[in-house]
Amino acid sequence: MSKRPENSPKPKRRPSTTASVAAGGTAQKVRLVEIDEEVGQRIDNFLLKQLGNVPKSRVYRMLRSGEVRVNGGRKKPIYRLQAGDTVRIPPHRAGPVAAPNFISDVALADLEAAIVFEDEQLLVVNKPAGLAVHGGSGVSYGLIEAIRRIRGDGVELAHRLDRDTSGCLLLAKRRSALRTLHELIRQGRLHKRYRLIVSGQWPRDLETVKLPLHKYHTGSGERRVRVAAEGKPSHTDFHLVERCDRASLLDADLITGRTHQIRVHAQASGHPLIGDQKYATDEQLAGAAELGISRLCLHAERVIVPWAGDSLTFICPVPAEMQQAWQRLQAPSA
């Protein structure tokens, strides 16, 4: 066997494949996780929770490059985990644990008071307008971060509401409950009704809007939705409750659940929501501002959930500021 010359440099050892070699943070070895409670969860959301201190871009890069494997094979981010799946989480370096965002005692107390139902599996909150459902994109914290402060880390959002929309929001306290809720949503069996106020006089015979919706981003990175042939099929049923010269009071039933669906279907029908900063015209927004209406007039009033052989109905009354907005719109104009 040949010998290495005495003065020659030692050969470099290849870095271990069981730990990250990047600088900073804490090295983590490869892990194999067998799926049980996480059944039905998307692989990307599963990884984001498992790798909480790893940048989101890095997590998606792991998926694209095949570093993450499910049962030995690659999966797209939308893959939903199944019972018995084995997920390979590759070597990575976790960043420093971020300090928890400050949430005032008053905010936590207000959120506690907004809980309208709770048992061992479900939690229903009357979300106030202006509170995002989760932090990020310039938002220091959202409803889910605040709820976890008072109910623990096991609580998960079953669905979402726009930041400026108020009303019924369902959360799951157990993974099994979350799976059930997601399955009900996929089957179209979770019924959601909204109360809204739109500009102008809504036609009495306009009860169904079926227009495909396409998500896109503006030049500034803001998320928007428009009606487009290449969009996803979308269906909203509208019910006229009352109307006056300037506006109409409606109920809306979501048959599909697309982003900004009610807002864009109303706008495409010629009657954008009062106070809608994204889809109303400047003139319509100025008219609402003159009446002292500053919020989006959209409220998730009712959710009906088939549950354990029964039907649960959760109701979040229309907030006072929306009732006052309707009264101001009904008043004779100057």
Q: Is the pLDDT of residue 20 over 50?
A: no
What's the confidence (pLDDT) of residue 26? 57
CA 209 to chain centre: 23
What's the confidence (pLDDT) of residue 45? 84
> CA-CA-CA-CA torsion for 118, 119, 122, 125, nearest 10 degrees?
0
> How sure is the predictor about 115, in pLDDT bands with cuts at 50, 70 and 90?
very high
| Complete edge-to-edge strand list for the sheet that includes strand 31-34 | 31-34, 86-89, 69-70
What's the confidence (pLDDT) of residue 14? 36
What's the confidence (pLDDT) of residue 10? 47
> How sure is the predictor about 94, in pLDDT bands with cuts at 50, 70 and 90?
low
Q: List active site positions.
A: 162
What's the confidence (pLDDT) of residue 136? 65
Mean pLDDT of all residues in 124-139: 84
Q: Is the pLDDT of residue 28 over 80?
A: no
Residue 146 φ then ψ, to 5°: -70, -40
Maximum average pLDDT range among 53-67, 142-156, 230-244: 230-244
266: how many CB neighbours lie within 10 A of its CB? 27
What is the average pLDDT score of the chain? 87
Mean pLDDT of all residues in 208-217: 95
| Domains, the chain, with CATH or none | 26-94 (3.10.290.10), 102-187 (3.30.2350.10), 190-334 (3.30.2350.10)
Q: Is the pLDDT of residue 323 over 60?
A: yes
pTM of model > 0.85: no
More confident residue, 37 or 90: 90
- Residues 43/63, Cβ–Cβ less than 8 Å: yes
Q: Is the pLDDT of residue 29 over 90?
A: no
Determine which helix (DSSP H) or strand (DSSP E) holds 197, and give its type and residue range: strand 191-199
> How sure is the predictor about 16, in pLDDT bands with cuts at 50, 70 and 90?
very low
Q: Is the pLDDT of residue 140 over 90?
A: no
User: For a pLDDT cut of 70, what percent of the chain falls above it?
Assistant: 87
- Hey, which residues does 167 pair with through a beta bridge? 127, 300
